[in-house]
Chain A
Amino acid sequence: GDSVTQMEGPVTLSEEAFLTINCTYTATGYPSLFWYVQYPGEGLQLLLKATKADDKGSNKGFEATYRKETTSFHLEKGSVQVSDSAVYFCALSDNAGNMLTFGGGTRLMVKP
C-alpha cells in the first residue's frame, strides 16, 4: 500500500536558518503530494501541494518539488522565523483524490 516517510524530529533551528524536511513516498499510480502544517493547539492546514511530477508547490516562503525519479517531496524554506514553529506533515492522495496517507510528522522549533 501507499506510504510516506519523513525525517524524525524535532528539528531545532535558529531564526533565519535554512530549513529542509525530507519526505519520500511509496505509491502506485500518480499521487498528488502535500505538506500540511499543524500549529500548537490547532488542526492541520494545507501548506502547499503538487499534483504532478516536476511541479513545485510554494506558499509563505516554503517550497517543495515533486520528484518522481527519487519519489521525494522535500520541504524547504530559505529563512525560518519563530512563527514557523509547528509540526509539518507530508502526505499523498490516492489517484481519485479522496484519501490521504500521512507521514509521521516533523516538529520544527525555531529559536530567536
Chain B
Amino acid sequence: DADVTQTPRNRITKTGKRIMLECSQTKGHDRMYWYRQDPGLGLQLIYYSFDVKDINKGEISDGYSVSRQAQAKFSLSLESAIPNQTALYFCATKPVSSYEQYFGPGTRLTVT
C-alpha cells in the first residue's frame, strides 16, 4: 500500500548527540513536511519541501536541519540534541492538487 513511513518509531538519545529521523513515502507526492507535536501546542512546522530542490524553514527551525535526498525521502536532523527537543515528530506529504496532508505514524524522541 502507498504509505508514509518514519524511522525510528522511538528513540532515546543523550544531550549533545547528533540524530537523524527519516521519512519515506510511496505516494508520489512532491510536497513533504516535518512537524513537532508538544502537548497542548498542536503541531508546529519545522521545515517543508515542495520538491527536491526547494526546502524552506518553518516556524521553529532553529536547532534542526533537513535533507531531501529524493522525491520520496525527507530526513530531519538534530545536530546537537537538547532536552527541550523531546517531542513527537511527524512527517507529512501532500499532492500538489489537494489540500489534504497525509501523516506518518510519528517518531517519539526523548533527549536525556
Q: Residues of A with Cβ closer than 8 Å to B?
A: 4, 8, 32, 34, 41-46, 49, 51, 89, 93, 97-100, 102-105
Q: Which residues in window 1-34 of B have CB below 8 A to A?
A: 4, 31
Residues in B with CB closer than 8 Å to A8 are: 40
Contact A103 B31 (CB under 8 A): no
Chain A, residue nearest B58 (CB): A99
* Complex Cα–Cα for A32 and B92 (A): 18
Task: Classify the interface of chain A: helix, strand, loop or mixed.
Answer: loop
Shortest Cβ distance from residue A65 to the other chain B in the assembled complex, whole angstroms: 17
B99 touches which one: A4, A42, A51, A102 (CB < 8 A)? A51
Contact B50 A98 (CB under 8 A): yes
* Complex Cα–Cα for A53 and B111 (A): 44
> Can you list 7 A-B pairs with a CB-CB distance of less than 8 A?
A8-B40, A32-B99, A42-B106, A49-B99, A49-B100, A89-B43, A105-B40
